[in-house]
Amino acid sequence: MYIDLTMPLDEETMVFPGSSKPEIITISTIESKGYNEKKVSFSLHTSTHIDAPRHMLINGKTLSDFTIDNFIGEAIVLDVSNQKEINVDLSNVRKNEIVFFYTGWSRYTDKSNYFTDNPVLSEKTAQRLIEKQVKIIGIDSFTPDNEPFFIHKMLFKHDILIVENLVNLESLIGKRFLCYILPLKIKDADGAPCRVIAEFD
């Protein structure tokens, strides 16, 4: 069985304040040229996407520096809903695992407060993730922390990737499953939109 954890991407997709809105332009139709074709323009950090260390570290790795197996692995969803600062028991988290945090914040994607008052990871939780040697963390909001993005940088220094704007995590709380995180294969990217798929029995 599969669950799509990816936010749709269209011209109405919300973007981080100051970023340009996605554009999807028809450049050819069957009627005009015999085929349909569209042109798209968007930030690499739009919709469900993955951040590489280069996003915030001058000498950090780009997505090209990670092999494909780094984007596939066993994952678990932890319920941290109703927590303003995320502190959670990580005793069951395993080395090289993908850890997703269900905050419930994705229900606000069409609300004006989506980019304010969002839940954030505590420094203690981030440090425990580093000690556990997880390879990817993800969250159902636009960021695991706010400016000056100290948590981002903590994780990036240990080559832990970050997935943002996940959806549909509620049905996977407490479960382990095989996760596929498939970013666009853009050379030397600091991040990229990705399709995130959960597979489980």
In tens, the pLDDT along 150-178 reads 999 999 999 999 999 999 999 999 999 99
Of 65, 33, 77, nearest to 178 by C-alpha is: 77
pLDDT band at 125 (very low <50, low <70, confident <90, very high): very high
Give residue 201's pLDDT: 83
Average pLDDT over residues 47-51: 97
Residues 6+ apart with CB under 8 A from 143: 118, 120, 149, 152, 164
Reported pTM: 0.96
Catalytic residues: 55
Q: Name the CATH superfamily for 2-6+44-199.
A: Putative cyclase (3.50.30.50)
Domain positions in the chain are 2-6+44-199
| Beta-bridge partners for 86 | 121
pLDDT at 142 over 80: yes
pLDDT, tens digit (0-9, with 9 covering 90-100), for 14-37? 888 888 899 999 999 999 999 999
Give residue 111's pLDDT: 81
Residue ranges of alpha helices (H) inside the chain are 30-33, 123-132, 150-156
